């Protein structure tokens, strides 16, 4: 279908029907779908290649914890058939190669400008268009602004005195160098023990002379049990793919997992233990699906926590080290559970030491290392595995201004406000892909991305065929959705931990639970109902009421 979009606004500006910010999995699929609509679109990507998080996160051990047959696009049967994943859980390099393959296969590369960071975007009410500024000086005007900026892409550095004075090598896991980094014979410090750290610690410990792990909060982690995919795996997946994809689309987490029992408290301790052991042995995120009440009942959650604590005690030989690494005081899953390959085992090595920063607090980073209240640690390298300004950071770090010049970061100062995580009132035609208020990080991201992009595709087609120039949420619909997202989260245990889901890792960020916990399948049905009911809760403006200046 060829879409009839507005013409260029003035001679000196580039004009496109749509600008897509980010060329990760969301940006690439959005560009593909805009192409299907016959719209002119440009992708703007700060990096010099596609892949998003998989472009930036090149740290040792970086790997997906959703199975590769599930963490892959489902929109093209041919793509599914021609791409062979080598492992059950794919590593960063293989996922990046897949992203590059998709970009080339579907002709997306030529639509993307690389090394193009969007610094500002302002809505021009007189023409119903967005003026997007790239690298501070290039302007592109577009009718639609599509933010495919990623949920975990705005890296967060700790506020530690002297951080810039360190003379050795320093890295953030989310901005890892493209050239190989060797830690051979080096004394290395790593700050943080989240998913990124838990993946790279075992790898770095194999190389470094000494590895010091600075831990603020111990994490629950289950083994990944990665392995090569076999012929029989392929046979199973390929002969059932359509049905399995359907299940993924309607699953709570966007991936197929053995269905859990209703309550951990309704089975005997032996049966519970069997279930946890089965899931522990199977590996990956299926552990938290063992019982449906794990994230809603403290008592039920305690059973899972106790199981995991026993496992840590069994793995780590030194009781004192085990104690430091054992999580307590918050529920399993309230901070995102980690999946590891020999993480706890690594602390049995002589060259690895954990430092509890609650006891030996970090005072300062100096030219030579990290100084705590207990001692000075001279190191060659410091790795900041300190995470992200999640869900909102990549959006609010852009100077985005809607109607009347309103700043998006001002509107969201007390937490993000969106309708369905897709649009926000007063910022017409600005779609967010997996934005705050949608399931996003609580689901298999690729399934969540496809659902959002497909919905946006249908919405743009609807607007075109009805002569609509603008879409934005009604304030009351947005208010109701924000309340609904909060009410659901408050019924869960998610508020019982200081997690990035709540923005608690970023000093000064309002503590509010940002993703939608109702599950991807339910969320999909809600979005479909809303569009079937004529886009309930959205207001549209037609061409007759907006001015477009002809070139
Ligand atoms: O970041 P994090 P991440 N002093 O925020 C600590 C996804 N992901 O990059 O917990 C000392 O989880 C902080 O401590 P605390 C996945 O969704 C997926 O590891 O805030 N420590 C924490 O230990 C994941 O959840 C995969 O007390 C400080 C760590 O730094 C998300 O990305 C792999 C500190 C940050 O952990 C983010 O993971 C990797 C300070 N000042 C990532 N500031 C897979 O698919 C922060 N910390 C497997």
Please provide the average confidence, as pLDDT, over all residues in the chain.
95
* Chain Cα centroid distance, residue 180: 25
Could you state, in order of their start, the residue ranges of all structural domains in the chain? Answer: 14-154+390-467+500-535, 169-384
pTM of the model: 0.96
Query: Quick one: average pLDDT of 330-350?
Result: 98
What confidence score (pLDDT) does residue 266 get? 98
Ligand 1 centroid–CA 151 distance in Å is 13
> Could you tell me where the DSSP H helices lie in 386-537?
393-396, 408-411, 445-465, 475-490, 520-532
Q: Ligand 1: distance of its center to the CA of 505 in Å?
A: 9
Residue whose CB lies within 8 A of the most ligand 1 atoms, among 65, 89, 157, 216, for a mutation test: 216
Cβ neighbours, 10 Å, residue 529 = 10
How many residues are present in the chain? 551
CA distance 102 to 73: 9
Q: Is 370 in the pocket of ligand 1 (CB under 6 A)?
A: no
Give the pLDDT band (50/70/90) at residue 7.
Answer: very low
Cα(451) to ligand 1 centroid in Å equals: 27
Residue 357: how many other CB atoms lie within 10 Å: 16
Segment holding 104, helix H or strand E:
helix 92-105
Percent of the chain having pLDDT more than 70?
Answer: 96
Could you write out the DSSP letters of every residue in 270-334? HHHHHHHHHHHHH-SGGGGGSBTTTTT-HHHHHHHHHHHHHHHHHH-SSHHHHHHH---SS-BTT
What pLDDT does residue 544 have?
Answer: 59
Atom number in ligand 1 closest to CA 339 = 48
Label the pairing between strands 41-44 and 112-113.
parallel
Sign of the CA dihedral 13, 19, 21, 22? Answer: negative
| 549 — pLDDT class (breaks 50, 70, 90) | very low
CA dist 149 and 409 (Å) reads 15
Strand partners, 118: 134
Distance set, CA 262 to CA 290, 296, 316 (Å): 9, 11, 32
Q: Using alpha carbons, select from 428, 90, 415, 418 the residue that is nearest to residue 229.
A: 90
Strand partners, 374: none
Q: How far is the CA of 370 from the centre of ligand 1 (A)?
A: 19
pLDDT at 551 over 60: no
Q: What's the pLDDT score for residue 315?
A: 98
CA distances from 167 to 79, 207, 307, 368, 370 (A): 47, 21, 43, 6, 12
CA dihedral over 303, 309, 311, 313, signed as positive or negative: negative
Mean pLDDT is lowest, of 267-271, 431-435, 503-507, for: 503-507
The correct answer on CATH 3.40.30.10 for the domain covering 14-154+390-467+500-535 is no
Sign of CA dihedral 120, 125, 130, 135: negative
pLDDT of 343 strictly over 50: yes
Look at ligand 1, atom 36, and give the residue with the nearest C-alpha.
194
* 1 confidence band (pLDDT: 50, 70, 90): very low
Phi and psi torsions of 16, nearest 5°: -135, 155
Percent of the chain residues past pLDDT 90, beyond the cut: 96
Cβ proximity of 440 and 420 under 8 Å: no
- Under the banding of pLDDT at 50, 70 and 90, the label for residue 428 is very high
Residue 546 in this model has a pLDDT that exceeds 70:
no
CA 221–ligand 1 middle distance (angstroms): 13
pLDDT digits (tens, 9 = 90+) for 433-480: 999 999 999 999 999 999 999 999 999 999 999 999 999 999 999 999
Q: Which two tokens stand for residue 472?
A: 């934005």
CA distance 470 to 460: 10
Instruction: Name 133's Cβ contacts closer than 8 Å, sequence gap at least 6.
Output: 118, 119, 120, 121, 139
Contact 58 CB / ligand 1 (< 6 Å): no
Count Cα neighbours of 151 within 13 Å in the Cβ-side half-sphere: 27
Task: State the distance from the centre of ligand 1 to the C-alpha of 416, rounded, in angstroms.
Answer: 21
Looking at per-residue pLDDT, the higher value among 5 and 318 belongs to: 318
pLDDT band at residue 13 using 50, 70 and 90 as cut-offs: confident
67-101 confidence digits (pLDDT tens) = 999 999 999 999 999 999 999 999 999 999 999 99
pLDDT at 192 over 90: yes
Least trusted range by pLDDT, from 182-196, 389-403, 506-520, 535-549? 535-549
* Pick from 451, 385, 436, 447: nearest CA to 67: 447
* Residue minimizing CA distance to atom 10 of ligand 1: 217
Do 423 and 430 contact (CB within 8 A), yes or no? yes
Please give the Cα distance from 121 to 142 (Å, whole number): 10
Q: Using a 6 Å cutoff on CB, does residue 65 contact ligand 1?
A: yes
Q: Give the Å distance between the CA of 386 and the centre of ligand 1.
A: 5
Contact 475, 431 (CB under 8 A): no
- Nearest atom, ligand 1, residue 441 CA: 17
The arithmetic mean of pLDDT across residues 117-136, rounded, is 97
Bridge partners of residue 436, in order along the sequence: 438
Residue 382 pLDDT more than 60? yes
């Amino acid at each position: 279908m060829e879409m009839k979009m507005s013409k260029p606004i003035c001679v000196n500006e580039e004009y496109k029907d749509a600008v897509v910010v980010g060329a990760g999995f969301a940006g690439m699929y959005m560009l593909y779908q805009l192409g299907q609509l016959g719209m002119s679109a440009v992708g703007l990507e700060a990096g010099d290649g596609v892949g998003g998080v998989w472009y930036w996160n090149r740290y040792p051990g970086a790997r997906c914890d959703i199975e590769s047959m599930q963490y892959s696009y489902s929109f093209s049967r041919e793509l599914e058939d021609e791409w062979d994943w080598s492992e059950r859980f794919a590593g960063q390099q293989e996922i990046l190669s897949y992203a590059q393959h998709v970009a080339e296969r579907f002709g997306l590369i030529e639509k993307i400008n690389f090394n193009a960071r969007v610094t500002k975007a302002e809505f021009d009410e007189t023409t119903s268009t967005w003026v997007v500024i790239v690298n501070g000086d290039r302007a592109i005007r577009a009718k639609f602004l599509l933010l495919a900026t990623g949920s975990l892409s705005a890296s967060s550095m700790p506020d530690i005195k002297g951080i810039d004075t360190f003379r050795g090598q320093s890295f953030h896991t989310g901005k890892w160098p493209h050239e190989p980094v060797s830690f051979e014979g080096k004394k290395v410090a790593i700050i943080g023990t989240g998913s990124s750290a838990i993946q790279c610690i075992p790898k770095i410990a194999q190389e470094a002379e000494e590895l010091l792990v600075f831990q603020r909060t111990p994490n629950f982690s289950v083994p990944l049990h990665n392995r090569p995919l076999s012929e029989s795996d392929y046979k199973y997946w390929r002969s059932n793919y359509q049905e399995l994809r359907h299940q993924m689309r309607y699953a709570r987490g966007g991936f197929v997992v053995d269905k859990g029992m209703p309550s951990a408290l309704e089975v005997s301790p032996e049966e519970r233990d069997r279930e946890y052991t089965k899931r522990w042995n199977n590996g990956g995120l299926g552990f938290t699906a063992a019982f449906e009440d794990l994230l809603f009942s403290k008592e039920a959650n305690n059973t899972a926590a106790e199981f995991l604590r026993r496992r840590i005690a069994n793995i780590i030989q030194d009781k004192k080290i085990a104690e430091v690494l054992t999580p307590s005081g918050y529920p399993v899953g309230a901070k995102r559970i980690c999946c590891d390959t020999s993480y706890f085992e690594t602390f049995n090595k002589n060259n690895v030491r954990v430092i509890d920063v609650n006891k030996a607090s970090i005072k300062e980073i100096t030219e030579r290392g990290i100084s705590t209240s207990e001692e000075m640690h001279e190191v060659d390298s410091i790795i900041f595995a300190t995470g992200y300004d999640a869900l909102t950071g990549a959006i609010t770090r852009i100077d985005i201004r809607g109607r009347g010049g309103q700043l998006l970061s001002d509107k969201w100062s007390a937490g993000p406000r969106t309708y369905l995580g897709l649009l926000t009132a007063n910022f017409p035609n600005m779609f967010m892909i997996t934005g705050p208020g949608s399931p996003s990080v609580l689901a298999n991201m690729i399934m969540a991305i496809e659902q959002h992009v497909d919905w946006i595709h249908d919405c743009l087609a609807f607007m075109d065929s009805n002569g609509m120039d603008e879409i934005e949420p009604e304030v009351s619909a947005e208010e109701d959705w924000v309340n609904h997202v909060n009410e659901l989260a408050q019924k869960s245990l998610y508020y019982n931990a200081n997690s990035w889901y709540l923005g608690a890792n970023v000093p000064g960020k309002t503590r509010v639970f940002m993703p939608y916990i109702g599950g991807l399948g339910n969320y999909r049905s809600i979005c479909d109902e809303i569009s079937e009911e004529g886009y309930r809760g959205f207001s549209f403006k037609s061409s007759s009421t907006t001015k477009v200046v002809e070139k």
